[in-house]
Amino acid sequence: MKEWNHKEWSKAKNTNKLAAYYLYTPMCGTCQLASKMLEVVVAAMPDLPIGKANLNYVQEIASLYEIESVPCLLITENGKLKEKVYAFHSVPYIYEKLKTVDV
């Protein structure tokens, strides 16, 4: 998963049917576990545009999307926010959230 800045996220969400943006902070233990789960999902869905960002460096995203906590996965469909996922229950759970739309 590649680190994206705000500009890269905007481009991905506006040029793809489905896109996801994973927000984390480095000192968050739950974020580290969520990152590992997402790596498995990314390997299973290589065509899905998904990026990540340290929320400390993209504070404008936190304000714009009213991020309440990390980890957070923003899922957009056709450029519009579809869902904010805060609870990363399991790899299959995240996979199902992301496969609801054909890329």
Least Cα distance to 20 among 1, 37, 33 occurs for 1
Sequence-distant (6+) residues with CB within 8 A of 46 are none
Average pLDDT for residues 69-86, to the nearest whole number? 95
Q: How confident is the model at residue 103 (pLDDT cuts 50, 70, 90)?
A: very low
| DSSP secondary structure letter of residue 69 | S
pTM, two decimals, is: 0.90
Cβ pair 3, 55 in contact under 8 A: no
Q: What is the pLDDT of residues 33-62, one digit of tens each?
A: 999 999 999 999 999 999 999 999 999 999
Helix residue ranges, H only, the chain: 6-15, 29-44, 59-64, 91-98
**What residue segments make up the domains of the chain, in order of their start?**
2-97
The CATH code for residues 2-97 is 3.40.30.10
